[in-house]
Structure 1
Amino acid sequence: MEEKKKVMIDAGHGGTKDPGAVFEDRMEKDDTLRLALAVGRILEENGVNAVYTRSTDVYDTPYQKAEMGNEAGADYFVSLHRNAASEPGKGSGVMTLVYKTGRESEQLADSIQRELARTGYVDLGVIERPDLIVLRKTQMPAVLVEVGFIDNPEDNKRFDAQFDEIAAAVASGILNVIDDDMDRRPVEESDYYYQIQTGAYRIRSLAEQQLEELRRMGFPAFLVYDGTYFKLRVGAFKNLDNAVRMERELRKAGFPTVLLYEREVK
């Protein structure tokens, strides 16, 4: 039996020593813990081993958190935060930080960032931050996600009103990368075919919106429901070259893609 992928989820800040950014009566450490546990539950439901730097209101240094990920042998490290501006209310949106672009961590960052932007937040992109210990000292692909600005009332309103969707977006971003890794393994050609996935949603209406858009543009799209996510798939190809050509067309049309190798349904 193949070993589960392991993801270390870090709820940023913690304890009385480090509440993180504070706005009115709201503390970053509380939002990040709530989100970390929600993301972890979704990952577990999808066959991923989710582990945490903290599951209660405790403090550990960034170095200790990085070491937790290393000692656990995690495949990925995802640190969750809320942003803050120098002047309250002036910042808005989501961004994902990496130690350096051009590495495997950028693929993870891109995937999470795309999914979060679909929830309605302003997309601030993927940014290099080589000074952050949890990105520099971790031995696996690591990202730090800033989920909206805690000092912006509108970002907070979205965080609360769409909390389940936001948690699902972060989890989907992680699962997309895990699926990509798992589905590229060598397999028996006769039993498998290629598909292109363009998104995964917990909310059916969001998936159906993208499904309609894909079909309107002439792509042979359909939905796959795995019990948790409604996944957008395009095509079913025995020939890899045909699948790659379809993936290129989808990318040209502006869709994020993951090329999957799926077992044929008999």
Structure 2
Amino acid sequence: MRYLRPAHGGRDFGAVYNGRREKDDNLRLVLAIGEILQNNDIDVEYTRTTDVYETPYEKAMEANNAGVDFFISIHRNSFPTDNEVSGVESLVYSLTGLKYQMAQQINEQLETIGFVNLGVKARPNLVVLRKTEMPAVLVEVGFINSDIDNRLFDENFEEIAQAIATGILDTLNYAGVIQENNYRVQVGAFRNRTYAERLLDELMEQEFPAYINDSGPYYRVQVGGYENLNEAADMERRLKRAGYPTVIVK
């Protein structure tokens, strides 16, 4: 299950430019992304589907209590001087793990539409990234006080929704997260996320397609998935030769 968050809402307009309100762009885009994900058999929950306000902390707690797998927060950016900066960027708690891969994928997809790719940045102080217990990505879909970005946003709205959804789906498919009845090779399980991220970084440096599965009580570092047991067994042998303890899971 995925949690989609349109930032701001209600009395909180977000950034405003020439009468354009960030909260409106965010909600419209989140609903379009959610429809695409649902059409691809992904369960989607929303922090809001109407113009209501909740604090970032409340939204993070809702996601935690719902037990969702991923948290995607959609924003529009702003800069002190109008029409000076343009582009998309994504924010994550740390530059590691599946959240980082997903943020990179989303940015790259949006770049194909014409946005400047400003990269992925670590923002561990943000509530929706710090308090969420699942991988979380905050996407800044262009600057609301950039005429260039607003033109891209309005003229390519459906393509933008598809680009973000594709970034999410491609990452999950690559990691084997959304495949059913598939085989994965588990390399470690930790109560402390820091230890899981250390192992993940080590595996990714060796180009293993690893990720953190934190859908249960432990942070499980896994590789795959694979449609048949033989493929999983081949990867398990590679990992064992590299010195890692492994177990094949479904």
SS at 1:10's partner residue? strand
SS at 1:77's partner residue? strand
In 2, are the aligned partners of 1:184 and 1:261 still within 8 Å (CA)? no
Match of 2:95 in 1: 101
One of 119, 137, 144 as aligned partner of 2:131: 137
SS at 1:143's partner residue? strand
Runs of 4+ in 1 over 2 A off after TM superposition: 181-189, 258-262
Q: How many residues get paired? A: 188
SS at 1:48's partner residue? coil
The amino acid across from 2:14 in the alignment is G
In 1, are the aligned partners of 2:173 and 2:179 still within 8 Å (CA)? no
Query: What are the residue-to-residue correspondences of 1:213-232 with 2, within 5 Å?
Result: none
Verify: 1:30 aligned to 2:24, yes or no.
yes
What do the CA deviations read for 1:68-121 (whole angstroms, capped 9, x no partner)? 111111111000000001111111000000011123211111111111111110
Match of 1:11 in 2: 6
Aligned-partner Cα distance in 2 for 1:14–1:54: 8
Shift of 1:259: 9.2
One of 153, 156, 163 as aligned partner of 1:162: 156
In 1, are the aligned partners of 2:2 and 2:43 still within 8 Å (CA)? yes
Q: Superposition RMSD on alpha carbons, in Å?
A: 2.2
Cα distance change on mapping 1:178 and 1:91 into 2, 3 Å: same
Aligned-partner Cα distance in 2 for 1:98–1:114: 16
The amino acid across from 2:175 in the alignment is D
Aligned-partner Cα distance in 2 for 1:126–1:163: 22
In 1, are the aligned partners of 2:61 and 2:132 still within 8 Å (CA)? yes
Aligned residues with identical type, % of pairs:
47
Query: What are the residue-to-residue correspondences of 1:91-240 with 2, within 5 Å?
Result: 91-182=85-176
Q: Return 5+ residue gaps in structure 1 as ranges.
A: 1-5, 190-257
Aligned-partner Cα distance in 1 for 2:34–2:182: 32
Cα distance change on mapping 1:21 and 1:259 into 2, 3 Å: same
In 2, are the aligned partners of 1:180 and 1:260 still within 8 Å (CA)? no
With the length of structure 1 as denominator, give the TM-score of the two structures.
Answer: 0.67
The amino acid across from 1:108 in the alignment is M
Q: Return 5+ residue gaps in structure 2 as ranges.
A: 184-223, 229-250
Verify: 1:90 aligned to 2:84, yes or no.
yes
Cα distance change on mapping 1:18 and 1:184 into 2, 3 Å: closer
Verify: 1:51 aligned to 2:45, yes or no.
yes
Query: What are the residue-to-residue correspondences of 1:38-77 with 2, within 5 Å?
Result: 38-77=32-71
